[in-house]
């Protein structure tokens, strides 16, 4: 009852922060100026500027101004000075043959931002961080062609300070559209889950910096879900669902490329079937 009352009393007031973004693709809430207030990092693929908006006035700040076809950015405070460093994927195209896939590291030196290219990996697409590493999940393999995009798709990491590319997995196939960081096996390390044409995979992190793909959890997971009769929305068993003990993930039947963070169900929470599918774009 308390929850219902609190929800009824809560009111939201819309505020316009920006009206000039072209091809808006991703927004990340992160404190960019270590004042304790979360700011908004905004990426728009149709613009050559990467910007952030300062809470609470939403003053606009330009980080870099000459990048093309940006697709993802991710903050991580590598040097622990309170201001996040950023990894940026740009020169992106859906077609591997046309996608340069530049990955750049952005650092604020107290006065301005510097940008340094650290990798070129075709269709670099989803950037995140896990265990102090930046994670890059390209959209497809280098030789993938529509509509089936047949090829193995890399999942890689970059460790400071040299940011040399490290391979996590090359087991995924087709388009990889969703990535989610979660400590799947509760060992205190961030694991990397991906959603692709092949299903939903868990890549387990180890303390020595190596990774194990999803084999421990049944490998390709669709069959596993169908065996257990797990359902989303009361429909047929979810394709691309994965279960591990008291937790489960699924993507909605009839849709592909969806990965539901909410679907990481803890025992005793709402029934699995109540959880809504979620496409982790952005
Ligand atoms: Ca702030
Ligand atoms: Ca920093």
CA of residue 51 to ligand 1 center, whole Å: 14
Residue showing tokens 């029934």: 271
**Rounded to the nearest whole angstrom, what is the distance from the C-alpha of residue 91 to the centroid of ligand 2?**
25
CA 27 to centroid of ligand 1, rounded, Å: 15
CA 229 to centroid of ligand 2, rounded, Å:
47
How long a stretch of residues is the chain? 282
Helix (H) or strand (E) holding 5: helix 2-9
Render pLDDT for 164-210 as a digit per residue (tens, 0 to 9).
Answer: 999 999 988 888 888 999 888 889 999 998 888 777 778 889 999 88
pLDDT tens readout for residues 197-240: 777 778 889 999 889 875 444 333 333 333 333 433 333 334 44
| Distance in Å, CA 96 to ligand 1 centroid | 37
Q: Counting ligands in written order, which one lies closest to the CA of residue 106?
A: 2
The closest alpha carbon to 66, from 85, 47, 84, 52, belongs to 47
In the prediction, which pLDDT does 225 show? 36
pLDDT, tens only, 97-154: 999 999 999 999 999 999 999 999 999 999 999 999 999 999 999 999 988 889 999 9
Confidence of residue 1 (pLDDT cuts 50, 70, 90): very low
CA of 82 to the centre of ligand 1 (A): 10
Contact predicate 139/94, CB 8 Å: yes
pLDDT in tens, 28-87: 999 999 999 999 999 999 999 999 999 999 999 999 999 999 999 999 999 999 999 999
Per-position DSSP letters for 16-39, written without gaps between them: ---S--SSEEEEEEE-SSSSSS-E
Gap between the Cα atoms of 80 and 43, Å rounded: 24
């Amino acid at each position: 009852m308390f929850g219902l009352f609190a929800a009824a009393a809560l009111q939201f007031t819309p505020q316009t922060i920006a009206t000039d973004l072209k091809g808006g693709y991703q927004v990340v809430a992160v404190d960019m100026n270590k004042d304790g207030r979360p700011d908004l990092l905004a990426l728009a693929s149709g613009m050559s500027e990467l910007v952030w908006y300062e809470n609470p006035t939403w003053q606009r700040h330009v980080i870099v101004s000459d990048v093309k076809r940006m697709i993802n950015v991710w903050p991580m405070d590598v040097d622990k000075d309170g201001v996040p460093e950023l990894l940026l994927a740009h020169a992106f195209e859906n077609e591997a043959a046309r996608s340069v896939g530049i990955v750049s590291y952005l650092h604020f030196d107290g006065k301005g931002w510097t940008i340094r290219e650290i990798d070129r990996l075709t269709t670099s697409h989803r950037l995140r961080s896990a265990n102090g590493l930046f994670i890059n999940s390209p959209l497809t393999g280098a030789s993938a062609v529509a509509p089936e995009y047949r090829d193995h798709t890399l999942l890689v990491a970059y460790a400071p300070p040299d940011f040399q590319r490290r391979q996590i997995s090359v087991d995924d196939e087709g388009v990889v559209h969703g990535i989610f960081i979660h400590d799947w096996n509760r060992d205190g390390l961030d694991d990397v889950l991906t959603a692709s044409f092949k299903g939903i995979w868990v890549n387990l992190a180890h303390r020595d910096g190596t990774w194990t793909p999803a084999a421990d959890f049944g490998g390709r997971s669709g069959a596993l879900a169908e065996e257990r009769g797990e359902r989303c929305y009361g429909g047929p068993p979810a394709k691309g669902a994965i279960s591990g003990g008291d937790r489960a993930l699924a993507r909605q039947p009839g849709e592909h490329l969806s990965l539901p963070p909410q679907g990481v169900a803890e025992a005793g929470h709402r029934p699995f079937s109540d959880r809504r599918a979620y496409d982790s774009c952005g």
